Amino acid sequence: MFQKFHHTFWVLFLALSACSDDLEENQSPTERNFKMGFTTWSYGPNLEDLNNTYSFIADNSDIYAEHIDNKIPWEAWINDEPLPTAFTNEITGRANRKIAQKQLLLSVSLLNSNRDDLAEDLDGSIPAYTNLDDEEIENAYVKHIDYLLGQFQPNYLVIAIEVNELRLRSADKWPAYTRLMQNVISRIRTIHPGIPISESISLHNLYDPIVAEPEGYINEIVTRMNQMDFVAISFYPFFKNLTTEEGFQQALDFLHNRVNKPIAFVETGHIAEDLVVPNLNVNIAGNETGQNRYLQTLLANAENQNYEFVIWWGHRDYDALWETFPDELKDLGQLWRDTGLLDEGGIERSSLATWSDYFSK
């Protein structure tokens, strides 16, 4: 997902821790062969909201995702110093809420929210480096991933998030990034053998890309995807102005025709209301029917293509959380606000019935 206001969500966690067939021919299956779940993104700023989020996940998922996409305590890892309390409180708070008898995806970002450089330290700085694969950076990130794996004990690991966006926005860093991750993944496999590992890519920035030499870019990213244990997809189709079943299916077929590893949608969602943000020149039509159409298409493909799992970003619209954002973040915060299967008042949308129909199989 593009910038998801991870700082705001982090503050919330710290506070709370302290206390390809036609869709009509592919209706819900008789027996589900893929896992379904949500991230733990809360719809509101209060402890009750967070509790309700985890309860909803427990009742409506067989897998869920902890999405760690904010700060990395680089200085502490590099200098072998004690970890910042703010960081350990967040991680401990999440780990202590681990949902019993549910599989867990852990997604961790090496990159900042713009996906053009390393994630920031807690003080807003990034470590000095010559190349992304500097030994100091590699060792620190291995420590970071090892620590998080020890805390969460997940079933799947996304070791870096939306990495194709680095290739788009900072192409000069891409070769060193690939060398870095080759070394990090190799070392993590030694420490934590057996866990499936991937790097996520944003499908909305791979399908029909607006780049020079698109085929070269696509082939480079697809080759990398096929080297992973599973293909980890981030997809928000409204960013491509996709609204029809045909449009959704074309994007999914683009993916199916190019990858040879199990597919997992590690984060996805679609707007259920019009998205109008004048300051960002955004005006995208959205409605409950269109959201449900995307979910129906996605889940039918998950069944027919034997996806590993599907993670929907937020189960409920987060208007209450959005109201707490500072003014400078509200425009961006609005982009994903209305993608829940429940609206901001907790009223069920038709997409929840689609979800429940599949989940009950």
The per-residue pLDDT for range 278-303, each reduced to its tens digit, is 999 999 999 999 999 999 999 999 99
pLDDT of residue 185: 98
Superfamily of domain 6-18+33-359: Glycosidases (3.20.20.80)
Q: Per-residue pLDDT averaged across 316-322, rounded?
A: 97
- What are the backbone angles phi and psi of residue 114, rounded to the nearest 5°? -85, -5
- Give the tens place of pLDDT for each residue, 145-178: 999 999 999 999 999 999 999 999 999 999 999 9
DSSP structure class, residue 349? P
**Residue 24: burial class (beta carbons within 10 Å; 0-12, 13-18, 19+):** exposed
Return the sign of the alpha-carbon dihedral for residues 269, 273, 276, 281: positive
Provide the mean pLDDT of the chain. 93
DSSP structure class, residue 344? T
Interatomic CA distance for residues 269 and 294, integer angstroms: 9
Question: For residue 360, what are the contacts with CB-CB under 8 A and spacing of at least 6?
Answer: none
pLDDT of residue 1: 54
pLDDT of residue 352: 98
- What are the backbone angles phi and psi of residue 314, rounded to the nearest 5°? -125, 135
| pLDDT > 90: percent of the chain | 90
pLDDT of residue 31: 83
Cα 250 to Cα 8, 133, 253, 267: the distances in Å are 35, 36, 5, 19
In sequence order, what E strands does 197-259 have?
197-202, 231-235
pLDDT band at 70 (very low <50, low <70, confident <90, very high): confident
Cα 146 to Cα 4, 50, 77, 114, 310: the distances in Å are 24, 26, 11, 24, 25
Interatomic CA distance for residues 357 and 131, integer angstroms: 49
- Give the tens place of pLDDT for each residue, 228-238: 999 999 999 99
Which has the minimum average pLDDT: 20-24, 164-168, 308-312?
Answer: 20-24
Assess whether pLDDT exceeds 50 at residue 246.
yes
pLDDT of residue 332: 85
Interatomic CA distance for residues 19 and 319, integer angstroms: 23
| pLDDT > 70: percent of the chain | 92
**Domain positions in the chain:** 6-18+33-359
* Pair 115, 162: CB distance under 8 Å: yes
Q: Per-residue pLDDT averaged across 343-351, rounded?
A: 98
Provide the residue type at 266 as one letter. V
